[in-house]
Amino acid sequence: MYIWLFMMGGAAGFVLETLFCLLVHRRLEFRGGLLYLPFNPVYGVGTVLLTEVLGLLPFQHAIGYFWVSTVLGGCYEYACSYCQEKVFGTVSWQYNESVGSIGGRTSVPFALCWGLLGMVWIMWICPWVRGWADKIGTDLTIIVGLVMLLDMILSTLAEARHNQRRRGKAARGCLARWLDHHYPDAIMERTYPNAVPVASVPKA
């Protein structure tokens, strides 16, 4: 069940991010978080988190869902930005020059977007997803989960090595050399066009 919630949220996040870029910035840009699958893990984890937290609430009310999702989504986006900076030395989004910026890592308008998404998800989409996910066989779920896991591991290793190259660190070991050969800077920058080094981000 959680695998399909994760998959559904990550795929939907990829579509939303791509449409946002197309409509707001007038360009078609890859907005996934993995090397191969059209998937954004930030939204996948966020979907599972929202589902669990909202499911524990002692009420079933749209306004309550909206405000809890707003706070939770804003905190989650802030935490994701912080973790990416500390682990990879990059940021993929920043709101330093945006209205309602919160430490440059999230903003009031985007937290409200999380609120709307969380409300719509838990009230209308999640029950439907649960219904068909429970009918899917275990074997297919395991296969899909393993493919996703492999892509996530490979993407993490490739991006970590990309960050090492930025810092001038030479390849040590077979794995580092293999990553340098198969996932050079050109591929990584095309896959993650918004992931920029922290030093190049304007200070709040």
pLDDT in tens, 119-164: 999 999 999 888 888 788 889 999 999 999 999 999 999 999 999 9
Identify the three-state secondary structure at position 79.
helix
Q: Which residues pair with 101 in a beta bridge?
A: 107
Number of domains into which the chain is organized: 1
**What integer best gives the mean pLDDT of the chain?**
92
Containing structural domain, residue 143: 2-199
Identify the three-state secondary structure at position 80.
helix
d(CA 26, CA 41): 24
pLDDT at 86: 93
Asked, for residue 204, whether it belongs to a domain, the answer is no
Token pair recorded at residue 61: 């009310």
pTM of the model: 0.91
pLDDT, tens digit, for every residue of 100-115? 999 999 999 999 999 9
pLDDT, tens digit, for every residue of 151-160? 999 999 999 9
Asked, for residue 20, whether it belongs to a domain, the answer is yes
Across 20-24, 60-64, 163-167, least confident range = 20-24
Asked, for residue 176, whether it belongs to a domain, the answer is yes
Which H/E stretch holds residue 49?
Answer: helix 41-56
pLDDT above 70: residue 1: yes
Give the angle 89-185-159 at the CA atoms, nearest 5°.
40
Mean pLDDT value of segment 155-180: 95
Long-range contacts of 48-56, Cβ-Cβ distance < 8 Å, separation of 24 or more: 48/2, 48/5, 48/6, 48/9, 49/76, 50/117, 50/118, 50/121, 50/122, 51/5, 51/121, 51/122, 51/126, 54/118, 54/122, 55/122
pLDDT, tens digit, for every residue of 41-96? 999 999 999 999 999 999 999 999 999 999 999 999 999 999 999 999 999 999 98
pLDDT at 204: 57
